[in-house]
Amino acid sequence: MDIDTKIARVKELIAKREELDAELQELFAGSLKERRAPKCSNCGDAGHRASACPSKQAVAVQ
């Protein structure tokens, strides 16, 4: 199989994969849960966890 034939086959397979991905997305669009942003149990701010809390680190430095 020469390189041009391989490239053509790869393009065909990619096109099929994109079609399948689009169809699967339509079928399962409503069933996937989105993850919430992490919320710190130390200070209550969103975007980090207690182990990486800037308030906790600031207190530890002083």
Please write the tens of the pLDDT for every residue from 15-60.
999 999 999 988 887 655 667 778 888 888 888 888 888 886 655 5
CA distance 47 to 38: 5
Residue 10 pLDDT greater than 80, yes or no? yes
Structure token digits, residue 56: 């906790």
Q: What pLDDT does residue 33 have?
A: 60
Q: What is the DSSP letter of 57?
A: H
The one-letter amino acid code at 30 reads G
Nearest to 57 by CA among 43, 36, 39: 43
